[in-house]
Structure 1
Amino acid sequence: MVEETLMLSRLQFAANVSFHILFPTISIALSWFLVAFKVRFNQTGDPVWMRAYRFWVKIFALTFALGVVSGITMSFQFGTNWPGFMETVGNIAGPLLGYEVLTAFFLEAGFLGIMLFGMNRVSNRVHTAATIIVAVGTALSAFWILALNSWMQTPQGFEMRDGVAHATNWFEIIFNPSFPYRLIHMVLASALTATFLIAGISAYRLLKGDDKRAPKLTLKVALFVAAVLAPTQALVGDFHGLNTLENQPQKIAAMEGIWETESRVPLLLFAIPDETSRENHFEIGIPGLASLILKHDINGELQGLSEFEGNHPPVAPVFYAFRIMVGIGMLMMAIAWFGSFQLMRKGQVSALTLKAIVAMSFSGWIATLAGWYVTEIGRQPWLVSGVLTAQQAATDIAPANVAISLVMYCVLYLVLLGAYLHTLFVMARRAVEIEEIKPEEIADARSRTGQNTIKGEARYV
């Protein structure tokens, strides 16, 4: 019964975090795109930037709302499903979560209303400042959450007293060994997710016959930004891998499917890990490349899973999730580069490429989820590495109770996710049907009304 409760609790938390992370992954970076659109409008006076802002701020609001709601339900589980977590490390986890509320959430909640509804009620300068402050709030939220998650991966700056963790150095806790790499990696993942969402929705509008300047502009911006960020993410991922090898070698061994310590380790493009026989079937690999990447020496030695008997994660999910993440990342890079090449050479993207971009609209979600599964499953059996196992922290309530709430969560999340996706494309189709207002008409209206923006302009996206 204890094992059933543990497994169901893990599945429930996985379902919650998988749903929740979809929305902050978009909103963290999308808020900064909104800042860029607003600043460019202020600099140039070109209404196309304001149209882009008005369309995407609605999507940001919807995304932010679902992120907040799903985050609240996720936090309930610390008390219901994982009481041992707060009992053991609450002195550290509690303050870090509190710092997020005191800094990030207050900034977002305080200025989101001005950002969404203050366009014609406050000065342009105040509205721009509110947009920037909301973006800063989303970044701070990522900072504190990743500080806690990274500490759970590579804990330091604490001591154990009677089985309870007590902070001894908050600087070491926050800036633990894996934190800088995880923060940058996640921020870039968010940026890539947002760029492909912007590119995908913009491409969808163009395929539906939208000939206005706004979707063409946002597609161009998104593709150019993605073309730069995709290789940057690959480089940061390499540094992150080296840090993981230093601090969590068992995770690297699972990611690469290395069963025995060996030299000149191949980079496996495909394999079927078999934990029973402790070997890989149908291996397809590049000899020595894993050693070269991780040790910068083609003959470098890497530790195998045999050295971490009883203290390493389940191999198959980590192995496959890592390859999904990398594969999606490479595909994103290829499409961003090809689309950017077409824009620079012809000034437009072909219909076939537009369809590919639409298909990749939510590719960032897949890559981010795969990366998080590598991170979280790769930490098992530990909840806090070397301090607290998942089994020690789990609740001992009846499995049926956890199963009921798990089913309810999953049904609710599927409904909400379907509604979210449906709403995005309904908004895109409605934007196609709206006639574009001419810049001279806006300028004339501004001169007559004396306003920086006019109410009629809100319709034109």
Structure 2
Amino acid sequence: MDNLTAARSTMAFSLGFHIIFAAIGMVMPFLMCAAHYLHLKGRAGPYLELTKMWMRGVAILFAVGAVSGTVLSFELGLLWPEFMEHAGPIIGMPFSWEGTAFFVEAVMIGLFLYGWDRMKPWVHWGTGLGVGISGFLSGIFVVAANSWMNSPAGFDWVDGKAENVDPVAAMFNDAWLHQSIHMQVAAVQAVGFAVGGVHAFLYLRGRARELNLKAMKIAMLFGAAAAIVQPMVGHFSGEQVAKLQPAKLAAIEGLFETQTYAPLTLGGIPDEETRTMDWGIEIPGALSILAHLDPSAEVIGLDQYPEEDWPPVLIVHVAFQVMVGLGMLMALLGLLYFWFLKKRSFPRWFLWALAGSTPLGMLAIEAGWVVTEVGRQPWIIYEVLRTSEGVTPVPGMVWHFLLFLVLYLGLAGVTVWLFGRQIRVTQRQVEEGSP
């Protein structure tokens, strides 16, 4: 494994690990607040127990997310010093705002954890809501920094250096809006399905049935709504990618030749040597509609770029297909959820389907980040600085990759054990009627 591959692998694994906990950290506080709200409104049911169970989970996952996020910030300087030399002054503002949001989130979670019976009930509830809002803002600021890498703005590139830096224009670049919306909706969708699926499974196993049924309903209200909205958000993102990164869109669809009435391909395996798409099902004109709202519009293909500037077409295409496929499946389950909620009855087969869908949203997030990051290659700053030019010249990066791999796998194991323990303790207390 060469230095560049090791550095990219380290960053990819770290980001792939952190994004799961970041998504949970953004959304779980809102689920917690929903349960707490129902308790304060006097609704019948074990909403207080549910609030405290989710509160402990938020605390655990906040700690893990803080650790993995901090490691990522160090890795930027450790692995990509050339990138940070140029990008640091430009995208410092969203990172500083993210740090501020993280500080507020930490304060709010402390107030919520230790504010029971020490604060007025609705003030205490407000601190929990503050955890969610600050966490959500933190995610938006980080995505804004990443979107700048896909659509660099706010500077002039002169003789290999950035001049006339405008940090506001850099932060609010052309890609920040669609990337932020897409990621935040995906987080709500993924966490809603993950939490709903876990509680559906526990309900089917006969554990604390009332608590788990109500928990599943709260989580799926968020997850199902986000899953139904996400295809429209995805369409908006597709239009923006077509405008800002046409090479990425071409790789996503395996479109090797520029053409009008460009087809949208379902499935398929792109062959870069023959420049063909094998085994796919083409929908004529659908890609032109997705990109330009016109079936006859021309869509730029990979033939407009030298091959050394192509993204890895196979990886990007397959990741996109996985993301869209899982997203459409969750949208269908979301529609079914609202149908059965209206009928006030959930068939066992549907609850088992929800239980089986527990990891789908997280897998879709991972696939989406592969599309975003790998689809930008070979650029670390799109069409400005190549990834190979941003990597550290210091050898031995493979040892960093192996170290972080072992540490993160261990951290993941401990986190799963702690989270499972909290769920089991709460389930047992509810079943035994303990406070």
TM-score (norm 1): 0.89
Task: Say if 2:270 is the partner of 1:273.
Answer: yes
The 2-side partners of 1:105 and 1:211 are apart by: 34
The answer on whether the counterparts of 2:90 and 2:165 sit within 8 Å (CA) in structure 1 is no
Quote the offset at 1:46 in angstroms. 4.3
Secondary structure, aligned partner of 2:377 = coil
The 2-side partners of 1:195 and 1:262 are apart by: 40
Quote the offset at 1:62 in angstroms. 1.5
Q: What does residue 332 of structure 1 align with?
A: 330
Match of 1:428 among 420, 423, 426: 423
Q: What does residue 133 of structure 2 align with?
A: 136
The answer on whether the counterparts of 1:6 and 1:394 sit within 8 Å (CA) in structure 2 is yes
Q: Deviations over 1:77-114 (max 9, x none)?
A: 1222111011112111333312211x211101222112
The answer on whether the counterparts of 1:204 and 1:428 sit within 8 Å (CA) in structure 2 is no
What aligned pairs does 1:244-323 form with structure 2 within 5 A after superposition?
A: 244-309=241-306, 310-323=308-321
Secondary structure, aligned partner of 1:285 = strand
Quote the offset at 1:47 in angstroms. 5.5
Q: What does residue 18 of structure 1 align with?
A: 16
**Aligned partner of 1:76: which letter?**
F
The answer on whether the counterparts of 1:203 and 1:215 sit within 8 Å (CA) in structure 2 is yes
Secondary structure, aligned partner of 2:88 = helix
Quote the offset at 1:166 in angstroms. 4.1
Match of 1:100 among 92, 98, 101: 98
Q: Deviations over 1:289-318 (max 9, x none)?
A: 222322222232211101011322110111
The answer on whether the counterparts of 1:208 and 1:429 sit within 8 Å (CA) in structure 2 is no
RMSD: 2.0
Q: What does residue 343 of structure 1 align with?
A: 341
Q: Deviations over 1:205-249 (max 9, x none)?
A: 202212442221121223333332212111011011101100110
The answer on whether the counterparts of 1:147 and 1:175 sit within 8 Å (CA) in structure 2 is yes
The 2-side partners of 1:136 and 1:343 are apart by: 28
Task: Say if 2:249 is the partner of 1:216.
Answer: no
Secondary structure, aligned partner of 2:269 = strand
Q: Where in structure 1 are there 5+ consecutive unaligned residues?
A: 439-455
Secondary structure, aligned partner of 1:214 = helix
Q: What does residue 200 of structure 1 align with?
A: 197
The answer on whether the counterparts of 2:154 and 2:168 sit within 8 Å (CA) in structure 1 is yes
The answer on whether the counterparts of 2:190 and 2:223 sit within 8 Å (CA) in structure 1 is no
Pair 1:348–1:421, CA change in 2 (3 A): farther
Secondary structure, aligned partner of 2:266 = strand
Quote the offset at 1:164 in angstroms. 3.0
Q: What does residue 451 of structure 1 align with?
A: none
- Once the two structures are overlaid, the 10-residue window that deviates more, 203-212 or 73-82, is 203-212
Quote the offset at 1:186 in angstroms. 0.8
Q: What does residue 417 of structure 1 align with?
A: 412
**Aligned partner of 2:330: which letter?**
M
Q: What does residue 150 of structure 2 align with?
A: 153
The 2-side partners of 1:383 and 1:192 are apart by: 29
Match of 1:383 among 380, 384, 394: 380
The 2-side partners of 1:434 and 1:286 are apart by: 54
Identity %: 32
TM-score (norm 2): 0.94
The 2-side partners of 1:285 and 1:111 are apart by: 50
The 2-side partners of 1:45 and 1:22 are apart by: 32
The 2-side partners of 1:283 and 1:163 are apart by: 42
**Aligned partner of 2:426: which letter?**
A
Q: What does residue 453 of structure 1 align with?
A: none
The answer on whether the counterparts of 2:21 and 2:61 sit within 8 Å (CA) in structure 1 is yes
Q: Deviations over 1:367-418 (max 9, x none)?
A: 00100110111111111112211111101122xx211121121122222223
The 2-side partners of 1:344 and 1:426 are apart by: 34
The answer on whether the counterparts of 1:272 and 1:280 sit within 8 Å (CA) in structure 2 is yes
Q: What does residue 74 of structure 2 align with?
A: 76
Pair 1:212–1:355, CA change in 2 (3 A): closer
Task: Say if 2:181 is the partner of 1:181.
Answer: no
Secondary structure, aligned partner of 2:256 = coil
Q: What does residue 165 of structure 1 align with?
A: 162
The 1-side partners of 2:427 and 2:352 are apart by: 17
Task: Say if 2:370 is the partner of 1:373.
Answer: yes
The answer on whether the counterparts of 2:189 and 2:361 sit within 8 Å (CA) in structure 1 is yes
Count matched residues: 434
The 2-side partners of 1:324 and 1:162 are apart by: 41
Quote the offset at 1:252 in angstroms. 0.4
Task: Say if 2:42 is the partner of 1:48.
Answer: no
The 2-side partners of 1:32 and 1:435 are apart by: 22
The 1-side partners of 2:78 and 2:52 are apart by: 41
The 2-side partners of 1:428 and 1:205 are apart by: 10
The 2-side partners of 1:420 and 1:356 are apart by: 25
Secondary structure, aligned partner of 1:270 = strand
**Aligned partner of 1:179: which letter?**
W
The 1-side partners of 2:279 and 2:431 are apart by: 56
Q: Where in structure 2 are there 5+ consecutive unaligned residues?
A: none
Quote the offset at 1:45 in angstroms. 5.5
Pair 1:435–1:169, CA change in 2 (3 A): closer
